[in-house]
């Protein structure tokens, strides 16, 4: 689905999902999802619990490959290339399309090593000190940790750990960053920092964020995809539009009911 747009300016499509169906064993979790993700914009996935937001998100960097019984049909094109093509290396996909999870999951290693590790296994030949500093700066964490880079990352606060995970994702130069409820485990101040960071990062990266928080979707995203579930508990894309349009002038009754908190 092309997002309904008011603005006439053409946007570059970075990801194009066409008729994506995802099964877990016999269970049809997502049906016929088609949508375009635009470069250097933030796209939010919203909808009631169980409607397939995380499932679709994981399909975008082939994380579902790791779930036994998960199966995908349809196509996902990334910069014009089929993400599920025979020649495609899922490890490379996950480098280009990074993921940040709901619960911050730094490695039980130093702050420095959390950043350097991914680069090292990718055979990075540049200056590691520079890479660590640049990644931490981009994730708005450098000033808070520059004097304790050798400290174990698990001693950071939850919000700092999440920004470290974002820095870790940035260190391998991705094009897209997927975020699965990145702030839902954080307090309001840490959440605000993550939201500010998302707005900074979209200058350079395309971002897809799953969120349960309507305010957050409206604050950080340019486009919003509203997913719903049918009577069989199968998720589908109900409406996709520019965020302002979806929140102020939704086309579907279900969208209107969801964003006004009538169910969730």
24 contacts ligand ADP (rule: CB under 6 A): yes
Q: Is 114 helix (H, G, I), strand (E, B) or coil?
A: helix
Buried b (16+ CB within 10 A) or exposed e, 216-237: bbbbbbbbbbbbbbeeeebbbb
Options 24-32, 150-158, 190-198, 245-253: segment touching ligand ADP (CB under 6 A): 24-32
Taking the complex as a whole, how short is the minimal distance between the CB of residue 84 and ligand ADP, in angstroms? 18
- For ligand ADP, which residue of 6, 49, 130, 232 counts as binding (CB under 6 A)? 49
- Between 126 and 231, CB nearer to ligand ADP: 231
211 contacts ligand ADP (rule: CB under 6 A): no
Mapping DSSP onto H, E and C, the string for 137-184 reads: HHCCCHHHHCCCCCCEHHHCCHHHHHHHHHHHHHCCCCCEEEEECCCC
Give the separation between CA 246 and CA 78, rounded to whole angstroms. 25
192 contacts ligand ADP (rule: CB under 6 A): no
233 contacts ligand ADP (rule: CB under 6 A): yes
Nearest Cα residue to 211 out of 180, 238, 245: 180
**Euclidean distance between the first and final Cα of the chain, in Å?**
23
Options 51-59, 92-100, 197-205, 245-253: segment touching ligand ADP (CB under 6 A): 51-59
- Which residues partner with 17 through β-bridges? 35, 76
Where is 112: in which H helix or E strand?
Answer: helix 111-121
Question: Scanning the structure block, which residue is given the tokens 């964020």?
Answer: 209
Question: Scanning the structure block, which residue is given the tokens 């994730």?
Answer: 139
- Which residues partner with 72 through β-bridges? 22
DSSP output for 28-48: EEEEEEEEEEETTSEEEEE-S
Taking the complex as a whole, how short is the minimal distance between the CB of residue 135 and ligand ADP, in angstroms? 28
Options 23-31, 128-136, 144-152, 168-176: segment touching ligand ADP (CB under 6 A): 23-31
- For ligand ADP, which residue of 44, 46, 55, 259 counts as binding (CB under 6 A)? 55
Taking the complex as a whole, how short is the minimal distance between the CB of residue 70 and ligand ADP, in angstroms? 7
238 contacts ligand ADP (rule: CB under 6 A): no
Taking the complex as a whole, how short is the minimal distance between the CB of residue 231 and ligand ADP, in angstroms? 13
- For ligand ADP, which residue of 35, 51, 119, 165 counts as binding (CB under 6 A)? 51
53 contacts ligand ADP (rule: CB under 6 A): yes
Options 49-57, 116-124, 165-173, 249-257: segment touching ligand ADP (CB under 6 A): 49-57
Give the separation between CA 120 and CA 126, rounded to whole angstroms. 10
- Total interface residues for ligand ADP by CB under 6 A: 14
Tell me which residues in 62-101 interact with ligand ADP (CB under 6 A): 67
- Between 97 and 115, CB nearer to ligand ADP: 97
Which chain residues interact with ligand ADP by CB under 6 A? 24, 27, 29, 47, 49-55, 67, 233, 235
């Amino acid at each position: 689905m092309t997002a309904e747009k008011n603005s006439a300016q053409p946007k570059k499509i970075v990801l194009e999902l066409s008729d994506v169906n995802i099964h877990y064993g016999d269970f049809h979790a997502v049906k016929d999802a088609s949508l375009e993700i635009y470069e250097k914009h933030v796209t939010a996935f919203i909808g009631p619990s169980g409607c397939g937001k995380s499932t679709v998100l994981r399909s975008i960097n082939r994380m579902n490959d790791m779930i036994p019984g998960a199966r995908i049909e349809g196509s996902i094109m990334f910069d014009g290339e089929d993400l599920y093509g025979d020649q495609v290396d899922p490890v490379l996909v996950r480098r280009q399309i990074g993921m940040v999870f709901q619960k911050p999951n730094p490695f039980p290693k130093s702050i420095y090593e959390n950043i350097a590790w991914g680069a090292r296994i990718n055979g990075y030949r540049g200056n590691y000190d520079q890479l660590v500093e640049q990644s931490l700066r981009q994730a708005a964490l450098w000033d808070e940790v520059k004097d304790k880079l050798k400290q174990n990352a698990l001693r950071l606060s939850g919000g700092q750990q999440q920004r470290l995970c974002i820095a870790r994702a940035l260190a391998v130069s991705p094009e897209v960053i997927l975020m699965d409820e990145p702030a839902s485990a954080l307090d309001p101040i840490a959440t605000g920092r993550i939201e500010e960071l998302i707005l900074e990062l979209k200058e350079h990266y395309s971002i897809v964020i799953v969120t349960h928080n309507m305010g957050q979707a409206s604050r950080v995203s340019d486009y919003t995809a509203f997913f719903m579930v049918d009577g069989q508990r199968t998720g589908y894309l109900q409406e996709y539009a520019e965020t302002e349009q979806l929140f102020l002038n939704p086309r579907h009754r279900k969208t209107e009911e969801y964003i006004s908190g009538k169910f969730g």
